[in-house]
Every structure is written in C-alpha cells, then in structure tokens.
Amino acid sequence: MLFERQADLVWGLVASLYMANIALLILNLPMIGIFTRLMMTPTWALMPIVAAVTFVGVYGISNSVFDLEMMVFFGVIGYILRKMDVSLVPLVLGLLLGGDMERNLRRAMSISDGDWSILIASPISITLYVMTVFFLGLSVWLTMRDHKQAQSRTMEG
C-alpha cells in the first residue's frame, strides 16, 4: 500500500539510500590506508579506547550507574568464560533469541490451553527433535573421540 499511496516518499527514500552509499564510497576509498593502519593497532592499546567509548555510550544512553555496573559485571563474566574456553556463541544466541522463543512458547500454550503435547504433535517437530538429539550426540561423540586421540598422541610422544 505504501508503494501505491506514497510512491514519491518510497522512491525518494530509495534514491537517498543510493546517494548515501555513493557518498560513503567516495569518503571511504581515500581512507583505506588509515583503516588498515588502525587494524594494526595492538590489542593492549585498543582495548582501553574501546572500553572508554563503551562506558561513555552506556552512560550516555541511560544516565545510570547501575547500567555501567551491569556492563562491567557481564564483561567480567564474559572474560571468565573466555578464559575457561567456554563458547560464547550459545550464550549470545540465547540472549538474542530467548525473548522471541519465550513469547512463542507462551502463544503456543495459550492456543493449546496449556497442553504441552502440542510441542510434539506434528511430524515436523518430532523430526526437528530427533535431528537435534542426533547432532548433539554426534557433537559429544566427536569431541570425546578427538580428546581420546589427543590423549593417546601425548602418551605415545
């Protein structure tokens, strides 16, 4: 409907996006050398700058010391998890998708009047559960196999 009723607005927006891309291309091409040198900056020098910008950004958005404390708390947890070689991908996926998953579970429970069997009622859901269990088992098996192979190599050498 937007294309039919306000075509000028839509095409004006599309044209402005094209012009913005061209402007960014013109501005960024000469700065490629600066960007590559910036990538060579050592981590020990870059991290304090990133932390300072993060602190300013969090405080600038909310004007709350509590939000700064939460940022530091979760940063420390992330640091500890990284030092323990825990993959952060599942945690990030859980944070990003958790709200939507909870909302959809609540919707499914509402539709089925609280009957949990709706989650395994269709062949598609059963197939997805079986595939999930299979790939989790495969992942555990491959990890254990690789660990045993690495152990046997260290004992031989």
- pLDDT tens digits, one per residue of 22-63: 999 999 899 988 888 888 889 899 889 999 999 999 999 989
Distance CA 141, CA 149 (A): 12
Q: What's the CA gap between 155 and 157, in Å, rounded?
A: 6
pTM here? 0.49
Residue 106 lies in a domain: no
Residue 66 lies in a domain: no
Over residues 77-135, the pLDDT tens digits come to 988 988 998 888 888 898 899 999 999 999 999 999 989 988 888 899 999 999 999 99
- Examine residue 22 and state whether it is found in any structural domain, yes or no: no
98 located within any domain: no
- Does residue 96 lie within any of the structural domains? no
155 assigned to some structural domain: yes
Domain presence at residue 145: yes
Checking if the pLDDT of 153 tops 90, the result is: no
Looking at residue 48, its amino acid is: P
Residue 140 is part of which domain span? 123-157
Check if the beta carbon of residue 118 is closer than 8 Å to that of residue 111. Answer: yes
12-23 average pLDDT score: 94
Scanning the chain, the segments in alpha helix (DSSP H) are 2-5, 7-28, 32-39, 43-62, 65-83, 89-111, 123-156
- DSSP tag of 113: T
Pair 55, 68: CB distance under 8 Å: yes
Quick check: 29 and 22 in contact, CB under 8 A? no
In a domain, 3, yes or no: no
- pLDDT score recorded for residue 157: 61
Query: How many angstroms separate the CA atoms of 81 and 83, rounded?
Result: 5
What phi and psi, each to the nearest 5 degrees, are found at residue 121? Answer: -80, -30
Model pLDDT, residue 54: 93
Give the per-residue pLDDT at 151.
85
Domain count for the chain:
1
Residue position matching structure tokens 């979760």: 74
